Structure 1
């Protein structure tokens, strides 16, 4: 029986484009983008290196066109993502995706061409042009473009690299996902033998029965061992291609690209990891205490995600919505009003039904000034937290509505700020409202699992990737050596607090196989601690903090991360003191956990 509620659990995509993947309006939208890209290409054919200051207006015209194309592409890609999530078997959506991918490739080529023209501008003239009213709003982005253009290859080389990426580099990434998708895992669950997909088998890590968790863990380990040569080949080819491109672009430091993409410097990253490394002892204490509760002296890998207590609390969707709105209202009027708009306007797909995609996400529709949230709501507190998390992403999109398209793209390390902030509001409110010690303990454990993942698991991923890439420079890294590097990284990341960790996690962690971004790890830890610091300030200042919070979100696409935090929080993120403040909050959670379980 469906949950009766005044809030719809099925989103409305027809308000964006009627008739789904068969929408003629959406095809018109794609055609509109294509014509915009053609116009950009034509304009670039007649655009030369600026020679005088009044050429700044021509550059501004090109920027306006680029910003317009970017938000139109974002709208199109979001719509296709939503179509495939609500129905992975949609036959037309992949064709639409192919069309937008082709247009995106042309757009990227045009953008690189403009960057290469601009980089030839005389330095003094460039500085004068950036101070004009036309270009000053885009000063940060234009300087970023100029820096990236210095790393570009010749036109012929760039063209060759782009061609090779499609059938080589990106193809290896796609092959990885196809390989994972083809694997079936045979596991006994609740007395029945089941053939599960890899995601389904991994999800059993939170099953209440330890035997099920254990069987799933070892069944997967056998598969990774059996297929390790295939995974090693894929990983080596992805890394090898990336390193060859770095070599051509004269990038010696493997962290240079991810640091640039996240708009942080190495000093900031180093300060963060130093503080994380110095503060792991409390979390080891938490892991050991949790292991003891399961009758073990050390945390078993298959028990980490297990619920600390079996909570049977059911939270209906309408109750969840009202709870979120009530507690968001204590932190800001705009946050509450916006979230109410999301619930009332059918922007959420939360229905628990088969044949949906598994992953929760928030998609931005900048042309329409809307978002869409996708998840499956199962009446559990963890679902309420997911809902709050995705609402945070939508609020970040809402904050950026008035920002020019060129200044809307914020780095990944900032991308989780609003979402984690919103989730923390609801998690803390749920703990305060908890009617029993068991319920509170369950929530505290959920909170601490997030801390361990960010301080220990993500750190081990970073260490693995850093060491693997250094070794890959000398040639192919064998599967057995990958196991060794992974084992060393996990032991260092968790400080030896895990019993029999998965040395094959290099094979089943999809982040290592992402071809768009290397080091898809440290931004998570950065965003987690950063959002905790913001949350602490919000609790201290109350509703008056919302104005500063919105200003920070709006600037998140047009400043270095160091400057952003200094401007809006008055904090120096290259200093260890900043990171200590965030981790201190998590250490308090450990202390409470130890007290509650004593």
Structure 2
């Protein structure tokens, strides 16, 4: 079994004839789209709309294949000069699509009888949701010339600052016990059995951030200032309002979720305080012990064991999920181990036109790493359920992006807990699940508070690293309360989280809370309905690219704008905490 992913389905190398042909052919496709955009007022509206969509499909397939290959290669070797060069060239070429895309979107927005036109063609019917979304969002479009300038300037603005953060964190050498290790390796030690190792790794990690804090602070400041400017130019009330519209999500849904989360925070703090007691701490849980393992579930997995573990447990839910997971392991979809130059964390890149995905993880063999694989393979299953959509209908919004992944986590962890009879091991497994829930509730809330404050402050001031650290500490205090020891928080969490460093994707924090709680609500329905739930679940995933968040939930009879749904999901979290409190007496 390969321990690194294989990208040959995309291209065998940059030097391959296929890559060179596609890369060199791209400018002609962009020119074709640009030329089409100049003649939108010629001919029948229906015919012109079909022509535009077919050209966009062709361009999307070509660009996505090149982008997948370049981006995937960069994530495992961020300092590869050839990859960086091709990435910059691709971004430069794609910036030229901003002007014709704006013209096309304004053309679509100007079609008064859009539904009548759509009914005239089967292709247009397929893209009904997207066309109406373009019409609705057109009020935020600027002139074609300004859109082109913004796209070009982003290459050396927000995108470049984001690349700086990725490079600085992926190449950072941390001094740990006399050795130089990469950031991912030292962060993985937060899960170590030894209290001494966890604390030493935490201290080494914080010391490592000292080396890069100011350059990364400049990156964060300039990205957020740029987003503030763009949001204002487009007429949005705020970057959050822009994010919600891009997310196809109502503010009432976000407010209902956040209110429910805030109401249930005390229970999570009770969990943290009990864990602190078990580890011998008196004033709450130190940051470095957030992921300390408890109990006797200290099993380590090989990659082969992780494969069998996941396939066997997913088989009870759906054969197509189990078969896809087996294929991912057997056919080199996954890049497993950390190394210098490889980005930290984990992600999944769906390749819908190839009916596959690629998963990056930093596998260390712990149960948490197996759960991470389950999570990322949930994204792959999401991709599996949208792969029959047409090329322009394969993008789902941020909130629903975490649904299938977190549902997978629930499937794995709940099955394992139910199967375990030993009380100490059961406690350890429950506590592991609570670690994850604590992250999507308390930590995500702290990230949301922090990013909100950064956007507000970026309007009229520059935040040096020390100021950002103070803001992060304040956000952590509000979110974690007395559950954590205030003397050992993590002021540098803004450095290592790549989610803050995108000029085109702000507030990538609340979707994790959304996905976690939404998935728990769906899991409760599965436990109640059994096999009858699975077809509805597939339908729900399939609909995520062509529906609003609220309409997706309605497929399973859920109203996301009401606190009741979120309350029910959080009650299930509290029940798990009560189990832990009882077992840990």
TM-score by length of structure 1 reads 0.89
Aligned to 1:4: none
1:580 and 2:573 aligned: no
1:555 corresponds, among 522, 543, 557, to 543
Alignment gaps of 5+ in structure 2: none
Deviation at 1:552, TM superposition (A): 1.1
Contact 1:467 1:485 in 2 (8 A): yes
In the aligned structure 1, how far is the partner of 2:338 from the partner of 2:478?
40
Residues in 2 aligned to 1:583 and 1:417: alpha-carbon distance in whole angstroms: 16
Equivalence map 1:157-306=2 (5 Å): 157-181=146-170, 183-188=172-177, 193-222=178-207, 224=209, 229-297=214-282, 298-306=284-292
Please state whether the residue corresponding to 2:353 is helix, strand or coil.
coil
1:105 and 2:95 equivalent?
Answer: yes
Q: Cα gap change, 1:28/1:453 in structure 2, threshold over 3 Å: closer, same or farther?
A: same
Once the two structures are TM-superposed, the CA of residue 478 in structure 1 deviates from its matched residue by 5.4
8 Å CA contact 1:328–1:425 kept in 2: the answer is yes
Secondary structure at the aligned position of 1:591 is classed as: helix
Tell me the secondary structure at the aligned position of residue 357 of structure 2: strand
Instruction: Find the residue that maps to 1:373 and give its secondary structure.
Output: strand
CA distance in 2, matches of 1:538, 1:71: 36
Is 1:38 aligned to 2:31, yes or no? Answer: yes
**CA 1:337–1:312 in structure 2 vs 1: closer, same or farther (change >3 Å)?**
closer
Distance in 1, Cα, partners of 2:206 & 2:61:
43
Partner of 2:427: 441
**1:41 and 1:548 mapped to 2: Cα distance?**
41
Q: 2:143 is matched with which residue? A: 154
Give the deviation of 1:533 after TM superposition: 1.4
Counterpart contact for 1:448–1:590, Cα < 8 Å = yes
* Among 308, 314, 317, the residue aligned to 1:331: 317
Give the RMSD, CA atoms, in angstroms: 2.8
| Aligned equivalent of 1:27, options 17, 20, 25 | 20
Deviations 1:207-253 (A, max 9, x none): 33323332333344456567655444433222222222222222223
Equivalent residue of 2:293, what SS?
coil
Q: Is the 8 A contact 1:264 1:561 kept in 2?
A: yes
Match of 2:533?
545
**Offset of 1:278 from its aligned partner?**
0.5
Contact 1:72 1:366 in 2 (8 A): no
Who is 2:109 aligned against?
Answer: 119
Could you tell me whether the CA contact under 8 Å between 1:333 and 1:543 is conserved in 2?
no
Aligned 8 A contact 1:417 1:527 in 2 = yes
Alignment partners' CA distance in 2, 1:71 and 1:519 = 28
Partner residue, 1:522 = 510
Q: Which residue of 2 aligns with 1:68?
A: 58
Question: Kindly tell me: are residues 503 and 560 of structure 1, through their superposed partners in 2, closer, same or farther at Cα, counting changes over 3 Å?
Answer: same
Q: Could you tell me how far 1:373 is from its partner in structure 2?
A: 2.9
1:571/1:462 Cα in 2 relative to 1: closer, same or farther (>3 Å)?
A: same
Q: 1:109 to 1:14 in 2, by over 3 A?
A: same
Deviates more, 1:136-145 or 1:103-112: 103-112
Cα distance 1:506–1:377, how it changes in 2: closer, same or farther (>3 A)? closer
Write out aligned runs for 1:371-386 (5 A).
371-375=357-361, 377-386=363-372
**Greater alpha carbon shift after TM alignment, 228-237 vs 539-548:** 228-237
Change (3 A) 1:243 1:10: closer
- Residue 471 of structure 1 is matched in structure 2 by 457
Q: CA deviation at 1:480?
A: 5.0
Q: 1:569 aligns to what SS in structure 2?
A: coil
Give structure 1 regions of 4+ aligned residues with deviation exceeding 6 angstroms: 351-355
Cα distance change of structure 1 residues 365 and 183 upon mapping to structure 2, 3 Å threshold? closer
Deviation by residue 1:75-96 (Cα, 9 ceiling, x = unmatched): 3222233434555565543343
**Residues 21 and 83, structure 1, Cα contact 8 Å, conserved in 2:** no
C-alpha distance in 1, partners of 2:9/2:165?
A: 36
Task: Kindly state the Cα deviation for residue 455 of structure 1 after the two structures are TM-superposed.
Answer: 0.9
Per-residue deviation at 1:328? Answer: 1.7
* 1:47 aligned residue (20, 32, 40): 40
Q: CA separation in 2, counterparts of 1:353 and 1:212?
A: 20
CA–CA distance in 2 between the matches of 1:332 and 1:37?
A: 42
CA distance in 2, matches of 1:554, 1:66: 22
Change (3 A) 1:88 1:218: closer
What residue in structure 1 maps to residue 388 of structure 2?
Answer: 402
Q: Look up the SS of the partner of 1:103 in the other structure.
A: helix
Could you report, residue by residue, the CA deviation over 1:15-38 in whole angstroms, capped at 9, with x for unpaired residues? 543x33332223333345444333
Deviation at 1:277, TM superposition (A): 0.4
Deviations 1:426-482 (A, max 9, x none): 222222334643333332222101111111111111112212322332333455544
CA distance, structure 2, for counterparts of residue 448 and residue 580 of structure 1: 17
The TM-score, its normalising length taken from structure 2, stands at 0.91
Paired with 1:96 and 1:369, the residues of 2 have a C-alpha distance of 25
CA distance in 2, matches of 1:312, 1:513: 35
Give, in angstroms, the shift of residue 185 of structure 1.
3.0
Q: CA deviation at 1:266?
A: 0.6
Q: SS of the residue aligned with 1:371?
A: strand
Distance 2:228 2:337 in 1: 44
* Closer, same or farther: CA 178–408 of 1 in aligned 2, 3 Å: closer
Asked whether 1:425 is paired with 2:411, we answer yes
Which shows bigger deviation, 259-268 or 231-240?
A: 231-240
Kept after mapping to 2: 8 A contact 1:151/1:249? yes
Matches of 1:442 and 1:503, distance apart in 2 = 28
Corresponding position of 2:580: 593
Q: Is the 8 A contact 2:99 2:144 kept in 1?
A: no
> Which residue of 473, 486, 491 maps to 1:487?
473
Aligned mates of 1:480, 1:49 — CA distance in 2: 58
Within 5 A, what are the aligned runs for 1:343-358?
343-350=329-336, 358=344
Aligned with 2:352 (options 366, 374, 384): 366
> What residue in structure 2 maps to residue 14 of structure 1?
8
Superposed displacement of residue 131, structure 1: 4.5
Cα distance in 1, alignment partners of residues 76 and 491 from structure 2: 35
